[in-house]
Structure 1
């Protein structure tokens, strides 16, 4: 990352620079020219931006003159929008680029881009000069001139391309060291790379150093060489020492470590302010010293190389994450399918293959239509309608599909839908178990039905058989004839009623709907029950009047339904009690509410959930087909039946039916 020095007293300008350039530059700030002078480091700073409103024009030019000769630094001027053309012309001759306040992010990026293009051109020019100019070194007997051949230039250019094209770290390092060795003509070279696991810098590759030596060399973060290069970020030279710096402890340690590495130059390769690796160079084969131009170019080249290494690290992290995710998907017990915004299948894991009996190779990249229709419909609703499903069961006998489905959309950082995910849980085993359980329950119910039916049929048949056996001896007895006729007829009616209930309960009922008077239906049902009931100590309370409420119903079937309900209430009050019948309208639901309340013994708590069970029996009513059949008829009329009961205090049955029409005011 490059470094930009911004000299301005404006916090607003500082904030604009930092937000606009946070991905490209480290922005150092100075609020005066004096602070700016202290922060200028020619070998670190790439760009200096100056706010000319900070001082008078003459003072700016004077300060600028002192620092203008610094090489490889570009200058950006920040001027007021109302500056005169004359003044603007003067500053244009000083700065490489001018930007006016107020500063916008877009204009700032354009100005920086223009400056960067100039820097790149200067860098290329400098690179060409490094590889083509003649070096003049110390003369021994006579002045000698040594020139670099054009060969190194041809090797350096493809090297730059390699940095962005290769993702093989070992191969990349070998190419880099070979290129540097050829271009510079160095006798020994080594490359130290930071090992995060061991927290040390180890020799990753070398040339001219015996493998037994290089394999044993490593530097810890607190070693002299690492400390100096990390804090300074500059090239460390052992062949060119000025002043008494050698006496400094860290530098002495660093030089000793360089002796072990057989190097005279250590070039730090930084990334985001951290020391990533070190390029170590021994003396040239020709024994010539390194020129500043050579080392500068190597420093730039090495840091490009450091960025390439970091890119490889990031690429490897992505690959590892992808592989890790792929292994998770492969081992998941849930089927996973992902689709993009075009509804094309992207991921189809092995469990999805197993559940849907399709191969990923045949499915991936194809539209969702290739999946079973129920799955396709859920995916489309997730993508098109942004609808999510949770624990949604999909059962298709045709596709032999028994799955539990979860779906959700995938969104990018801006909230835009980019696809969807569907999770499939195989519930075929659960469904098979449920079917087996239901089959067993049905068999148990059948056995129970047969047993109870045998009991219900036996009682009337015993009476009929007894009287037929006596008929031969007492046929001429008039009293016997009357008793025989009434008893046998009654028992046969019981058998017929039971069989009718069974047929109605087991088979679909054919309805003939018409508009009927609910009050008349209730009166007729009550009258039929009163004719058959044996007890007379039951008090009736009727809170309704015929002719008020009309319902759309099959008169015969709805009559049966209320007859069964009333019969149930009378059976519960064989010792007497009060039967209350209420009818009222519920306007908000457009329904009629009918309640039938008795004061019988009530329903025991343990039997409350069984009242609509066709096989629920009591001593009073025998096999319990009446209430279940009533419930069936009423529900097929668009109504509902509910029950409430307090044990030993009575039971209330509540029926709701849709209103067809009203002829008088509501009561």
Structure 2
């Protein structure tokens, strides 16, 4: 547009020269107007348009000069004009180029300064978090202090750390610093579980890009797809210990957005620091637990051996008492029934104590010793036969739902102990009768045999589920708290696992998973 206007200006001057007579005497003034046009073009137009205007004004100058050959001064002006005009344009171009270079250099210096400041800030953040992690703080206190540090340096005011075991959150920690209710109810909160599932599944960080208008479906971007200057509302990072994903770290500015490249690098380092702290805590807890269990193991082994022999004598004597003896006065049917009732109770309690002793003695035994191939259904049927009297006594129906499964490589005695312990728990949960359903199935994809033992008893509260597999934790008045702990230990030594699916008033299901190894 500027070139068009300037060209029209040149044409107007030409027309004025032709129309007005005697204009040759004003030719130097007209030439100066051309200089002004060129200066304007040099300042505001690109090189191509500058050259066009320079050519037009040069032709116009030469035309005027040759229309009046007697005007020596005009001819001199006409021939000097293109040289002077070209030098003017070149000088202005050079000045513009120098100014542009200086501007770019200043921008680079400014960017370098900003980058340096951010790196210093990030190093300061990492240093403070590292020092905090080295202090003797509980994990919850450490995380709270970490979010405080991030709020001071990065403007982050909300963070959540979720640690998982067997697919369940075992330690949720959330920190909010000065956020309003509206800020806490962000548009992506309803999708947090979906985001965490993706991160836990593949161990890749997920970022939610900034969106001014809430959308029903949020796009999740891995870091490699995020540009360095993109604005991110929310980051969800994996917490990894020894190549195992043990949890997630969620970071949300809430009031503002996170810049992808700079903030993510710091957050990844912080996630690694937290992971190392979790690993240290797990190691310490394992050592303490190991020493504790080792000491207890020695103690209970001694006690178990001291108690086991008298129990055998008590059981034998009780059985003898229950048998009629002609040496004594004959007993009536009512008296004999009463004696049988009491001796049955004694034998039952002795058997219960013997099972508790077996659990105590299982502390130091390696579960995988003498492992051999066995048919899981034959093993289950044998365990059912062992407990059939109790099932009949408590009016418990046993339903078998077996699928085709290959043989498994296990220590049969240890695996029998696991199943009998689960049967015992089910009987105690269904003292007024019920149904025990046993399902088996095999997954070709994971090469795993699964056993599901489901009762219709009272169920288990959510608070108890979290501690169900801890040693010496029990909700029973007569329990040792070792049955499920030892069962989990046995299955872990076989490379398997045990999970619980339970709710109050709806019954309990234990799911055993055993890999089908051949050695």
Give the TM interval when normalised to the shorter protein: 0.3 to 0.5
Q: Which has the higher strand share?
A: 1
Q: TM-score, normalised by structure 2?
A: 0.47
Higher RCO, 1 vs 2 (CA within 8 Å, ≥6 residues apart): 2
Query: Which is greater in Rg?
Result: 1
Q: Which has the higher helix share?
A: 2
